[in-house]
Structure 1
């Protein structure tokens, strides 16, 4: 199977470093991108299992990136990270196929649990369960 791949997309370097450290420790192969173009290149070349995607990215916003990721491969799971007050965008993100969102500042342990749950490490049931 190989390790599960995780892509972190955020223009804030501090958040990327924090999440990279957490998820590398969890044993994931982690990639990072500061903008949409880099993110989509990584999706194209590495096909991550899950993307942690910030809603507000300069240049190409999170919804646009989400749309393009899902066009490339709708199996890729996406969790949005949002600033307070972006509720209208969250609904749209959910409609586009995002699984859930975390509002910044998020609880890193909750994020870790959510990712582990989505990537279902060692739990065969979750691999066949289809969420609606």
Structure 2
């Protein structure tokens, strides 16, 4: 059965790349380009995994994580960031964050992380 994955990134190229990769792995992908759009979609549907960019317009990734935790939404999250090293400490304190990956990311590593979380 395909898993439902929400990809949240403000860069169209990243959204397209992740859609191609994840659909080729047999998953269903929903896209959001802002943190606000992501929260709206999370409240409308359930997901098996969220892949979340840390720096987003309107509501950033950190605030999305705060809201998910405050609402006790336990969907696992992979956080992507161009400054991954500087946010790793913060991400380690978040119970729903499974991985923090640096941009640019290795596609094979990302797929392995996704498989580990949702299989």
Normalised to the residue count of structure 2, the TM-score between the two structures is 0.91
Q: What is the alpha-carbon distance in structure 2 between the residues aligned to residue 44 and residue 74 of structure 1?
A: 10
Gapped regions of structure 2 (runs ≥ 5) = none
Map of 1:129 onto structure 2? none
**Bigger RCO of structures 1 and 2 (CA < 8 A, at least 6 apart):** 2
TM superposition shift of 1:74: 3.2
Q: What is the alpha-carbon distance in structure 2 between the residues aligned to residue 112 and residue 62 of structure 1?
A: 21
Gapped regions of structure 1 (runs ≥ 5) = 121-132
Map of 1:61 onto structure 2? 60
Map of 1:9 onto structure 2? 8
With over 3 angstroms needed to count, the CA separation of the structure-2 counterparts of 1:68 and 1:113, relative to structure 1, is same
Q: Does 1:42 align with 2:41?
A: yes
Normalised to the residue count of structure 1, the TM-score between the two structures is 0.82
Divergent runs of 4+, >6 A: none
SS at match of 2:21: helix
Across the aligned residues of Structure 1 and Structure 2, the Cα RMSD in angstroms comes to 1.5
Q: Which has the larger radius of gyration?
A: 1
Map of 2:90 onto structure 1? 92
SS at match of 1:99: strand
